[in-house]
Amino acid sequence: MSAETLRLPGSAFSRGHVQAVAGCYFVASFAALGLPPYLTEILPELGDRGARWAGVLYVVPTVFGALGAPLWGRLADRYGRKRLLLRAQLGLAVAFLLAGWADSLATFTVALVLQGILGGTFAASNGYLGAALEGPALSKALTLMQGSARAALVVAPIVVGSLSGWLSPHRQYALLAVLPLTAALLLAALPEPESVAQELETVPATNAVDETPVISLKALYALEFAFVFSTVISFPYLIALVDDRLPGTSPTLSGVLFALPHLCYLVSALAVHSAFRGRPRTGIALGFTCIALGLAGHGVAGSLAELIAVRLLLGVGLTLGLVCLSVLAADCAKGRSPGGMFGSLEFFSKAGAVAAGVAAAVGSARFGPAAPVLTGSAAAAVTVAATLLTSKVPPMNHRTRRSR
């Protein structure tokens, strides 16, 4: 099977289809990723003058997205991945419209709840790709999807900030609802993939293959949770940490420091995929090691050069971790219903993000802005140790390809 094209019954799933899915995720995630940093400006318009609810509302879509992801994944396996991907894009559009026109804190909160429940475009996109691709082609596609997420995380807040002079971030929710609507129209032209697992059912019994995954599905979920927790915990209070270490730093420079790890991924992800797709366990261990060292370095960095160095080291860990998790996820997806698997994976990812947000808030309030990065470093170090200790233990074979 080529990484460029996988033939499906009556159609061809090409690199262009993968790029279309990734591009649609990028445009649809603009509001979801670009507007939450401006909650402190939005909430006073809705009656919360001190923006006291900003921290809670920041994680509301994540919490409800985590709860809904496994269900939407199973429904995708039953009723069609393309349908559920379109549902996710249209659900985002409805939630954004309601958020943009909300005139009270209660209505705005309902809109964010709906964003979490009705959205889930990342898991839906991965489930769609998982039904059409497998092996290196799927892991490369998942790597591209993460690139879309990183690019949106870097670009969206800048665009929202630039538009704020003409339209408040609150009303931008309604304006940016056009993006998931546009994405839905583009995705409607893509084929409905027939599951690779379904194709395998037509293989004669003599060709049936028993395969042992590189790691178990439970181990993949645990690594996903640990990775998201150890990286996301540094996000909320990074600007405060930069201000504490370098008083008077401009918002632009702080934003560049925030973006450096994600820019690292955008520059090097495909090269890292080529280098580590055959040894993802090694890449995961190296990634968590770089994350642990990079975050620990944040705790002692006292100059701009040192902050740049530790941000780049964190970027190396971020890239290794994301790429190798994509490789491991593609391996675990073989012979499984992709919607359910990627929906469950998204649950653990969002659970890690919520846990990181809570830990960051508690740690920063009690011990200062350096506490979150040191907590993340400790979590990454523990994960490295656990990964190395279990690396020589072969996983149990829970996956059998059958021809019946």
pTM: 0.82
Note the pLDDT of residue 211.
Answer: 61
Rounded to the nearest integer, the mean pLDDT of the chain is: 85
Note the pLDDT of residue 394.
Answer: 52
Note the pLDDT of residue 193.
Answer: 77
3-state secondary structure the chain: CCCCEEEECCEEEEHHHHHHHHHHHHHHCHHHHHCHHHHHHHHHHHCCCCCCCHHHHHHHHHHHHHHHHHHHHHHHHHHCHHHHHHHHHHHHHHHHHHHHHCCCHHHHHHHHHHHHHHCCHHHHHHHHHHHHCCHHHHHHHHHHHHHHHHHHHHHHHHHHHHHCCCCCHHHHHHHHCHHHHHHHHHHCCCCCCCCHHHHHCCCCHHHCCECCCCCCHHHHHHHHHHHHHHHHCCCCCHHHHHHHHCCCCCHHHHHHHHHHHHHHHHHHHHHHHHHHCCCHHHHHHHHHHHHHHHHHHHCCCCCHHHHHHHHHHHHHHHHHHHHHHHHHHHHHHCCCCHHHHHHHHHHHHHHHHHHHHHHHHHHHHHHCCCHHHHHHHHHHHHHHHHHHHHCCCCCCCCCECCCC
- 401 has a pLDDT exceeding 50: no
Average pLDDT of span 192-210: 48
Most confident of 121-130, 189-198, 221-230, 247-256: 221-230
**Please, which pLDDT band fits residue 230 given cuts at 50, 70 and 90?**
very high
- pLDDT, one tens digit per residue, over 351-381 is 998 999 888 888 888 888 888 899 999 999 9
**Please, which pLDDT band fits residue 403 given cuts at 50, 70 and 90?**
very low
Give the whole-angstrom CA distance, residue 254 versus residue 307.
Answer: 10
Percentage of the chain beyond pLDDT 70 is 89
- 52 has a pLDDT exceeding 90: no
Average pLDDT of span 268-272: 95
- Provide the residue type at 391 as one letter: S
